[in-house]
Amino acid sequence: MKLTTKLAKIKLDNPTILASGVLGVTAAALNRASKSGAGAVTTKSIGPQRREGHDNPVVVELDCGLLNAVGLSCPGPEESLRELTKAVKSIDKPVIASFYGKSILEFGHMAEFISKAKPDFIEANISCPNVGEFGLPFGCSAKTAGKITKAVKNSTDIPLIVKLTPNVVDIRAIAIEVEKNGADVICAINTVGPGMKIDVTSGYPILSNKTGGLSGECIKPIAVRCVYEISESVDIPVIGVGGVSSGIDAVEMLMAGAAAVGVGTAVWHHGVDVFQKITGELMDFMSENNYSSLDEIIGRSHG
């Protein structure tokens, strides 16, 4: 039975990928996920400046997932590059370097900067606010998403993943523009919302930032729909992220059209052992249903 899959020209032993953010940027944390069975690992998004992020609490646990407002905390580009270089040298699986900028120009500069570590992929996180467009995330405008993709492609030869936000009217239009401007892979989705949770004893929102992005089980139907719509609209591979914590969740994402699946909140809840659990359950599903390779599953729901 074959669990291998391909993203652009890069082969993965199995389709599970550590999603950006939940384990940070250190080489040690990424190594743990890789050794525990992830098919590839993604760093937390690396930004152009050192940032403390928001005050605690930055994460709230919900019955169906998490709300987080980490505030793009980052140890700074130099320290992040050191850790990324260590990770690339010590991990024998593909390493994806996630990054962001605060302008289109800065996305280009950051892409060039982190490419020095020679990761297998760079992943542009375009879900962060564009100061120039009154705080609207870059990924909410197809035109801006296309411009970022082009700026990044002109700055590096490393294969590019563009990570999309689901908080848009038509994710297909964004995906088409991103593909047209040279993205090699699309990753979908980032967190949904923002949402809010109020502590009814104090009467105040729990997060110091008041609102945060929603992730985990409760966003899976949105992620599956986004992956379905994107894979119907573009030819490049899609990484499906959002609420995956079991082999059956992974099958659903693959059937929607994903070539690989990102796992974030499930790592937060269950630790890095979740990768082996997901691949084990995926293999059980395949043998019970007479599938011998992922190619027979990927995109099946499109008929």
Ligand X SMILES: Cc1cc2nc3c(=O)[nH]c(=O)nc-3n(C[C@H](O)[C@H](O)[C@H](O)COP(=O)(O)O)c2cc1C
Query: Which residues would be at the binding site for ligand X (CB under 6 A)?
Result: 19-22, 44-45, 59, 66, 68, 70, 98, 125, 163, 190-191, 215-216, 219, 241-244, 263-266
Least separation, in Å, of the C-beta of 45 and ligand X?
Answer: 4
Return d(Cα 40, Cα 245) in angstroms, integer. 16
Q: Is the peptide bond before 221 cis (omega within 30 degrees of 0)?
A: no
Helix (H) or strand (E) holding 16: strand 16-18
Q: Which is nearer to ligand X, 242 or 291 (CB)?
A: 242
74 is catalytic: no
Identify whether the C-beta of residue 121 lies closer than 8 Å to the C-beta of residue 93: no
Structure tokens at 161: 């993943």
Least separation, in Å, of the C-beta of 285 and ligand X?
Answer: 19
φ and ψ of 177, to 5 deg: -65, -40
Q: Which is nearer to ligand X, 149 or 291 (CB)?
A: 149
Q: Which is nearer to ligand X, 189 or 291 (CB)?
A: 189
Return d(Cα 179, Cα 193) in angstroms, integer. 25
Per annotation, catalytic residue among 64, 74, 128, 226: 128
Structure tokens at 47: 């930004």
Least separation, in Å, of the C-beta of 292 and ligand X?
Answer: 27
Least separation, in Å, of the C-beta of 167 and ligand X?
Answer: 12
Number of residue whose CB is nearest ligand X:
21
| Three-state secondary structure call for residue 198 | strand
Q: Which is nearer to ligand X, 175 or 291 (CB)?
A: 175
Active-site residues: which are they? 128
